[in-house]
Structure 1
Amino acid sequence: MKALIGVMVLALAVPVAAQDKSKKDDKKPAPAAAAASPDQLMRDAEQKAAAGDKDGAVELLRRAVAMPTATGEPAMRLGRLLEGKYEFDAAIDAYKVAGEKLTGAAKGEALGRMAILQQLRGMPEAAATTQAATAADPQGVWPAIAQARQLAREGKGDEAIVMAQKVASTGGPAASSALGYAQEAKGDLAAAETSYRTAINDPEQKAIASVGLARVLRKTGRAGEAEPILKKAIEDAPGAVEAYKESARVKIALGRASEAVGDAATAAALAEGDAEAQKLVQEVGVAQALSYLATNQPDLAIQDLTKLRDQHDSPEVRVGLARAYVTKRQADPAIVELKKAVELDPANADAQYQLGYVQHMLKRDAAAAIPAYEKAVAADPGNVEYRTQYGAALAAANQSDKAVQELGKVTASPGYNKADAWIYLGQANLVGKKYKDAIAALDKAGTLAPNNVQIETFLAWSYFGLKDSKNFTDHARKARTLGQKDPTLLGYLDRVEKGEPIK
């Protein structure tokens, strides 16, 4: 009996021991899963991005980039994803890593994309990055886009257009945006606006194209339309220095210089190495001083600007001071300041323009104004105000054909809705004895500025040239009613009213 019990105890003990061993085995940690490869992480990131989880995709790509075995491809994908999220600084870092690891066309793309973002961020090293991209892939799309933008940035509009057009059919929205920048540099603002609008809906190009479009709108007198575009661009891309710069300039154009201070300061802080951003801070200071002119306090403007000039002499300050003198009709001190501004910076378009303006409008010497106006237009070909006054001076100096050519560019610019260029175009055609063309331009001016003595006077003389007594009389009478005192015009009116035919 005892033997049987022993056998049973032994039999029961075996399963219990086995169970204990099984439990111990269960407690052992499972073998570690094999580490994901960079390729696997890229595939997973692609799936997350497709599902809308961009943050998750970024995290996976960062892990892939950090792996010792990673090529430059994960960094390239990371840069593009970050660029689409408007995280430009992080995207620049990613493209830099990609450029260090990749070769050939891929390297050219990474560095080309990097250069474009550096331009948007106002980084001076953008030019060197563009050169490196071109060296890596001389015929590549992205190096060409970066190069086109760099050429435009340097004011070489024609060369920039040629470069951008080479990749227009293969570069997509980025090429359209670069073409817009090139066209803007050349002064073809209508074409630039079209190119920017073509690119603006692309996620990667939205910020860049928005700034370009806003700049064109400001230059064509539509700063009010530009402001909401820039506000959205800054919300989407808080690191876009160019957006802050343009926002400041738009606010200055809208007469709100005090509101431009913050944008200018932000641009300068974000891009410490960008001389243009630093100069913009001073431009805003000048605009603030000039705001006194709107309240008829030119002496206060002169006082503040004189202090600015003595603290930090620059073309911008001297131009501002000259404008204050112009308000007081003090041509001679204005010319002194403007000549010094031109001496400091011969390429300063505003200084050249203001110098021409003083000669033209205060000194009444159109011929003397033409060289300065011409330099202003050459330095900033897209500025419709500069070109309008240039055309007016040409017309006043009896250079009809050239005046018609220049003023025609103004009236053809997108959104142009001022009477000025149409009036001067009418004057230019009148000088050239193209009376019907003059009447067409002046009629257009009349729809924009009714009851204008200058328009009625030029219309009267145009109909006089056509020997149209009735219309001459109608417009000469209206000019007289509006205050015209020219004895020659009124003398002919008196004779025609008495029945004398126009010969």
Structure 2
Amino acid sequence: MVHRRLFQAIGLFVIFFLFGCGDTKSPGQYSNQAVKEVNVSQLLTEVNDSQQAEDYFNQGNSWLNAQRYKDAIAAYDKAISIKPESAKVWNNRGNAFNSLHQHQEAIASYDKAIALQPNKHEVWFNKGNVLSSLKQYKEAIASYDKSIAIKPDKHEAWINRGIALTKLQRYKEAIASYDKAIAIQPNQHEAYYNKACAYALQSNAKLAVENLQKAIKLYPGKYKKLAKTDPDFSKIRGDKQYQAFIQ
């Protein structure tokens, strides 16, 4: 019995000796080495998880492009379950919900993305669009302002901001927003058309027709037909200049 105990003791001694053979590391240094090995293992796991989350994200994008929005959301949810701190996944999840007209769910997703990365101009823009759909125009303008503060040359945000301002009958500010979009991209036919609408709503037929002409020149065949039925032009339908142009 003693011999067997000695054997075990020798065995333990030999093990410790072999760890130290040819190496003068202290026990504390061995502890550090063990921690490093664990960290490498954790890093590999994180890399694998990150790749899996990216795969689900890409799958979600494919479903989103195919207009299979519920499938897209399911894929994004899988990505989020692995990597919940990905703002881009939350953003695209919001887009999928928005496409299903589930606006509150979309806003919740955008808010998650914003909490993770407040400087993503796309997310603020997307949130503004949903708020506009809900006719929450003041809140929409605030979101567009955030998007523009991050990316001042985002002409789409200037245009949509102008639309929200028009809905609030803040026409002067709306026209200024459209002018910003035009300054950034002079061929923005949407900006000219919406600017024409803002003038028409103020019964300014001259400037309404002037901007409508510019929109039609940039996009022939669309805006002349649209203006004939657009209620924004109701106040100037009896104007001779408008009638002569629209015929």
Matches within 5 A, 1:220-231: none
Deviation digits for residues 300-344 of structure 1, max 9, x if unmatched?
xxxxxxxxxxxx4x3x32221111222333333223322443455
Distance 1:405 1:428 in 2: 10
Match of 2:167 among 431, 434, 447: 431
Q: Take 2:44 and 2:168, find their aligned partners in 1: how far apart are those partners? A: 43
1:353 CA drift (Å): 0.8
1:393 to 130, 144, 158: 130
Q: Does residue 205 of structure 2 align to residue 464 of structure 1?
A: no
> How big is the shift at 1:354?
0.5
Partner of 2:187: 451
Moved more, 378-387 or 480-489: 480-489
* Alignment of 1:476 onto 2:212: yes
Kindly indicate whether the alpha-carbon contact (under 8 Å) linking 1:318 and 1:337 is maintained by their aligned counterparts in 2.
yes
Q: Is the 8 A contact 1:319 1:341 kept in 2?
A: yes
Name the CA distance, whole Å, in 1 between partners of 2:232 and 2:153: 34
Other-structure match for 1:322: 60
Letter in 2 for 1:455: A
Q: Verify: 1:272 aligned to 2:40, yes or no.
A: yes
| Conservation of the 8 A alpha-carbon contact between 2:49 and 2:82 | no
- Tell me how far 1:440 sits from its aligned partner: 0.9
CA distance in 2, matches of 1:431, 1:440: 15
Alignment match, 2:118: 381
Higher-Rg structure is 1
Q: Between Structure 1 and Structure 2, how many residues are aligned?
A: 201
Give the direction of change, closer, same or farther, for the CA distance of 1:342–1:458 in structure 2 (3 Å limit): farther
2:230 counterpart of 1:489: yes
For 1:408, the equivalent position in structure 2 comes to 145
Counterpart mapping for 1:179-190 below 5 A: none
Alignment of 1:8-157 (within 5 A): none
Which residues of 2 match residues 365-380 of structure 1 at below 5 A? 366=103, 368-380=105-117
Matches within 5 A, 1:193-272: 272=40
Over 3 Å counting, the alpha-carbon distance change for 1:495 and 1:318 in structure 2 is same
Distance 1:342 1:432, change over 3 A: farther
Give yes or no for the alignment of 1:419 onto 2:155.
Answer: yes
Tell me the CA shift for residue 443 of structure 1. Answer: 0.7
Equivalent of residue 351 in structure 1, options 64, 84, 89: 89
Report whether the alignment pairs 1:338 with 2:76: yes
Residue identity in the other structure for 1:459: K
- String of CA shifts for 1:132-188, please: whole Å, max 9, x gaps: xxxxxxxxxxxxxxxxxxxxxxxxxxxxxxxxxxxxxxxxxxxxxxxxxxxxxxxxx
Q: SS at 1:321's partner residue?
A: helix
Distance in 1 separating the partners of 2:101 and 2:208: 28
2:237 aligned counterpart, secondary structure: helix
1:348, distance to aligned residue in structure 2 (A): 3.5
For 1:401, the aligned partner's letter is K
Return 5+ residue gaps in structure 2 as ranges.
1-34
The CA distance in 2 between the partners of 1:500 and 1:463, in whole Å, is 12
Offset at residue 350 of structure 1 (A) = 2.0
Quick one: structure 1 residues 490 and 363, their matched pair in 2 at CA, closer, same or farther if it must change by over 3 Å?
A: same
Distance apart, 1:444 and its partner CA: 0.7
CA distance in 1, matches of 2:199, 2:44: 51
Give 3-state SS (helix, strand or coil) of 1:412's partner: helix
1:430 deviation in Å? Answer: 1.8
Cα deviation 1:231-266 (Å, max 9, x = unaligned): xxxxxxxxxxxxxxxxxxxxxxxxxxxxxxxxxxxx
- Contact 1:367–1:397 (Cα < 8 Å) also in 2: no
* Greater RCO (CA < 8 Å, at least 6 residues apart): 2
